[in-house]
Amino acid sequence: FVCISFWTLYTYNRELVYPKSLDGVIPLWLNHAMHTAVLPFALLEILATPHRYPAKRKGSILLGCVSSLYISWVLWIYSVTGEWVYPLFALFNPAGLAAFFASSLVIIISFYNFGEFLNRMIWGQYK
């Protein structure tokens, strides 16, 4: 999710997620380590290691909890600094921001289910 959402928004309008002013602060290699390398490494991990996924409900709840913690962290940073971690968030009113986070969670759960599907296709029903 991180790689695809970040680079999609960056391609559309980089100022929404990674303002040009950050180029002097965050080196290019670190930007790619945070936003690019995660996808090929995740794919390599699927190919190299079979995974045992929890039941769908439990996995979705855990993923929802982790996502909620991240959203809480983003909101806390905004409440303390008055600045959004990603400038994109400043474009939304509270309802729009909630809708954005909810739709992101749906996409994240879809990616999780796709990863489980790939794991099953590559490794079979691993127990």
- Any long-range contacts for 70-76 (C-beta under 8 Å, 24+ apart)? 71/101
Q: Which of 49, 12, 10 is nearest to 31 (CA)?
A: 10
pLDDT at 127 over 60: no
The confidence score (pLDDT) of residue 126 equals 61
Q: Mean per-residue pLDDT for 95-101?
A: 96
Is the separation of the CB atoms in 85 and 74 below 8 Å? Answer: yes
How confident is the model over 18-76, as pLDDT tens digits?
Answer: 999 999 999 999 999 999 999 999 999 999 999 999 999 999 999 999 999 999 999 99
Is the separation of the CB atoms in 68 and 74 below 8 Å? Answer: no
The confidence score (pLDDT) of residue 125 equals 76
How confident is the model over 33-46, as pLDDT tens digits?
Answer: 999 999 999 999 99
Is the separation of the CB atoms in 60 and 112 below 8 Å? Answer: yes
Question: Whole-prediction pTM value?
Answer: 0.84
The confidence score (pLDDT) of residue 65 equals 95
Q: Mean per-residue pLDDT for 9-15?
A: 95
